[in-house]
């Protein structure tokens, strides 16, 4: 047993050493190029796919392709779990075991906070967690944000043909117009449209669940006038607190959107800078950090959604002031 363990550890050390050597060789063969970074997603289709009356032209972007790929991955995971369940095995294994363990942990967290509303809130928590996790991890796959089509820019790079019809970008900047790579796939969480849309869904469904739990009395949370005339001082305080609650609901949209977008977009910039300045060994640590942040941000987004939905099911009565 000890001999096998020593042999395994020895092989792992040689694999790490071989990876470092190959990285040094690769950097000398093809020097890394600092990519063109922009906040807005890049448009891949020269012509709009279709035109809507109010929105206008609708183009295909590289973050939309990332969304389609992420949806396909989630569907494949669901099919794999269903296939494993249909086999009738009492002991789950592989992907089925991993998903079952994750769902059990998430449901226990939801039940602890939401109580009897756990079955209503859990699907939103789990869906957001899985979607954001897949979207965040997708951008660290090889080829994402590095393989695409060449576009002209005023401050671009020289290019070199490596295969018939296949070009690579050189580190040297071109005199005059040059080329930059517009990737086919870009991290979905680096698109502010995605994070804002997800935040709107989260906040809107929080209000829906609050109304289902408390009925029309839920809106007194934002305009509490029940004690405004009977107890003017406390009533005025309740009314002001309600206005602050209304402002906080809109603030949730901003905090949800820009937290996820800012963290994931800064990761893209960090990887690009480290890969060009310290191309050997250091990018590995950055990618490990990116995986960690992808997990944390997915959990934070889903966890906050669950907490806000749980709070929406709890009444905000004026009993405390009545006791006073």
Q: In which element (H, E) is residue 181 found?
A: strand 178-183
Residues 271-296: b if buried by 16+ CB within 10 A, e if exposed: bbebbeeebbeebeebeeebeebbee
Name the nearest CA neighbour of 179 among 194, 167, 188.
167
Burial label, 233 (beta-carbon count in 10 A; 0-12, 13-18, 19+): exposed
Q: Which backbone phi and psi does 124 adopt, to 5 degrees?
A: -70, -45
Q: Which of these, 148, 172, 175, 146, lies nearest to 159 by C-alpha position?
A: 172
Helix ranges, the chain (H): 2-29, 62-86, 95-114, 118-138, 192-214, 232-277, 282-312, 319-323
* Residue 319, pLDDT score: 42
- Please, what is the angle between helix 118-138 and helix 282-312, to 10°? 160
Q: Highest-confidence range of 27-36, 83-92, 215-224, 229-238, by mean pLDDT?
A: 215-224
Of the listed ranges 59-68, 91-100, 126-135, the least confidently predicted one is 91-100
pTM of the model: 0.82
Report pLDDT digits (tens) over 73-118: 999 988 888 887 777 666 666 777 888 888 899 999 999 988 889 9
Structure tokens at 142: 């090889």
Question: What is the average pLDDT across 119-140?
Answer: 92
Write down the pLDDT at residue 324: 39
Q: What is the mean pLDDT of residues 278-301?
A: 84
Predicted confidence band of residue 320 (pLDDT cuts 50, 70, 90): very low
């Amino acid at each position: 047993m000890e001999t096998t363990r020593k042999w395994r550890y020895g092989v792992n050390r040689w694999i790490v050493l071989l990876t470092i050597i190959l990285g040094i060789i690769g950097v000398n063969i093809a020097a890394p190029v600092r990519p063109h970074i922009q906040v807005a997603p890049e448009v891949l289709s020269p012509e709009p796919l279709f035109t809507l009356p109010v929105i206008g032209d609708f183009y295909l972007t590289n973050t939309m392709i990332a969304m389609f790929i992420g949806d396909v991955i989630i569907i494949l995971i669901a099919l794999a779990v269903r296939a494993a369940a249909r086999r009738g095995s009492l002991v789950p294994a592989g992907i089925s075991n991993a998903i079952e363990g994750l769902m059990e942990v998430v449901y226990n967290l939801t039940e602890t906070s939401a109580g009897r509303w756990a079955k209503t809130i859990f699907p939103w928590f789990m869906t957001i967690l899985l979607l954001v996790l897949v979207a965040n991890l997708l951008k660290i796959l090889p080829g994402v944000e590095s393989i695409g089509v060449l576009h002209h820019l005023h401050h671009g790079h020289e290019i070199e043909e490596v295969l018939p019809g296949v070009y690579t970008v050189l580190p040297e900047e071109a005199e005059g117009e040059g080329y930059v790579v517009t990737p086919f796939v870009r991290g979905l969480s680096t698109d502010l449209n995605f994070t804002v849309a997800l935040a709107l869904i989260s906040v809107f469904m929080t209000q829906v669940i609050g109304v289902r739990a408390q009925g029309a009395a839920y809106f007194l949370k934002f305009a509490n006038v029940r004690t405004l005339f009977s107890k003017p001082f406390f009533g005025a305080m309740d009314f002001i607190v309600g206005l602050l609650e209304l402002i906080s609901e809109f603030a949730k949209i901003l905090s949800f959107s820009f937290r996820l977008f800012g963290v994931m977009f800064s990761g893209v910039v960090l990887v690009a800078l480290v890969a060009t300045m310290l191309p050997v060994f250091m990018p590995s640590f950055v990618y490990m950090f990116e995986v960690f942040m992808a997990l944390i941000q997915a959990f934070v987004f889903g966890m906050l959604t669950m907490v806000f939905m749980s709070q929406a099911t709890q009444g905000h009565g004026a009993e405390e002031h009545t006791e006073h």
